[in-house]
Structure 1
Amino acid sequence: MSFSAWFKAHYDEKGPARWLAFLLEVVSASVLFILMALTCVDVLGRYLFNSPLHGGTELTEIGLAVMVFAAMPVITWRGGHIVVDLLDRFLGSKIVKALSLLAALVMSSSLYFLAWRIFELGERSIRRGVVTEFLGMPSGYVVQYIAIMSWATALGMITYGVYRILFQDKA
């Protein structure tokens, strides 16, 4: 199977959103692989040579942040979050749609304002020169990355997420 056939089979998004989803998933998968290798090196160093990987904990924390927040916009865009639908069969479809739209609005606006505050904290960390404890890496850039990915998630929820809620029966 060629890459383009595989790509079209596994990515339902249209246009640039397809490539953005692919890029974010490649970032997330690559970081996950690096975290796995980092953990192996740290464990081998710890138990075979009695010398753990210095800064391994910091690299793991940063890697987890990069991985989770790279996947979050794609999962939100696709509607892949866990949904509890215990009352859906008792409520009418119009009420369920209204509640879903309300939830999408609350989630996207919450993420937007939360990302705004996170970005400000990242700016403050950069201004003050805050660095990680062992490796001395500036932590503000990771914090700003989290804010940007949260904005992307909010945008995905308020645009295509709402579109899916409104037209999921017709699509």
Structure 2
Amino acid sequence: MEENKRLLPLTEKIMRVIAAACLVGMAAMTGMDVFLRGAFNTPIFGCEEIVAILGVIAVGFALPYAHYQKSHIGVEILVRRLPKRARDIFELLTNLATLFLMAIVTWRMFLYAGTLAKSGEVSMNLELPEYYVVYVLSFGFFVYALCLLADIVKFFRKREA
């Protein structure tokens, strides 16, 4: 169990670095495309596809970090006025509902990626296989679901102590 306590934060940290690298890549690709269009009237072929793929990876891999930082949108104005116990229960219910939703999304995205792989679906310009991107995004949602599960377990352990 001790390895699991270290594995999830390590995975989140690696995913955060990859998400940041994707953001840098998106900015670099867009900047170079704009420069080449303006200076030489030669755009980068497939730049929109690459930027879109990097954006999907950045969003999917930033979810666990956003969860740990508590940077998701919340109804703070109402919840803040509740007593501590009610806030804790509200957070537990929110985490349970989100876990349920993320489990379904992860499962369906994984199945969808398999369907894309079987059909041979590729991107329009560069003809990159799209199922890889869907698998990567599914992995991001899976790790996010694990983070939610870890918070739920932590809630019940805290209640026992």
TM range (shorter): 0.7 to 0.9
Question: What per-residue deviation string (whole Å, max 9, x for no partner) do you get for residues 18-73 of structure 1?
Answer: 43232112111111111111111100111111121110000010000111111112
- Which stretch shifts more, 84-93 or 63-72? 84-93
Q: Which runs of 5+ in 2 are unaligned?
A: none
8 Å CA contact 1:76–1:156 kept in 2: the answer is yes
Tell whether 2:37 aligns with 1:52. Answer: no
- Hey, what does 2:25 align to over in structure 1? 34
Asked if the contact 2:96–2:152 (Cα under 8 Å) also holds between the matched residues in 1, the reply is no
The alignment status of 1:81 with 2:75, answered yes or no, reads: no
* 1:161 Cα deviation from its structure 2 partner: 5.6
1:16-165 alignment, distance < 5 Å: 16-160=7-151, 163=154
> Counting helix residues as a fraction of each chain, which structure ranks higher?
2
Cα displacement (A) at 1:17: 3.4
Aligned length: 155
Say what the alpha-carbon RMSD is for the aligned residues.
2.1
Using a 3 Å threshold, how does the CA distance of structure 1 residues 162 and 79 change in structure 2: closer, same or farther? farther
Alpha-carbon shift at residue 109 of structure 1 (Å): 0.7
* 1:8-19 correspondence to structure 2 within 5 Å: 15-19=6-10
Write the distance in 2 (CA, Å) between the matches of 1:16 and 1:113: 23
Give the direction of change, closer, same or farther, for the CA distance of 1:161–1:45 in structure 2 (3 Å limit).
farther
Contact 1:77 1:160 in 2 (8 A): no
Deviations 1:127-147 (A, max 9, x none): 000000000000011011111
Q: State whether residues 131 and 139 of structure 1, in contact with CA within 8 Å, keep that contact through their aligned partners in structure 2.
A: yes
Give the distance between the partners of 2:87 and 2:157, measured in 1 at CA. Answer: 11
Deviations 1:95-116 (A, max 9, x none): 2221111110000110110111
1:72 alignment partner AA: L
Question: How far, CA to CA, are the matches of 1:122 and 1:144 in structure 2?
Answer: 6
In the alignment, is the contact (CA less than 8 A) between 1:101 and 1:165 conserved in 2?
no
Amino acid at match of 2:37: R
Question: Gaps spanning 5+ residues in structure 1: where?
Answer: 1-13
SS in 2 for 1:132: coil
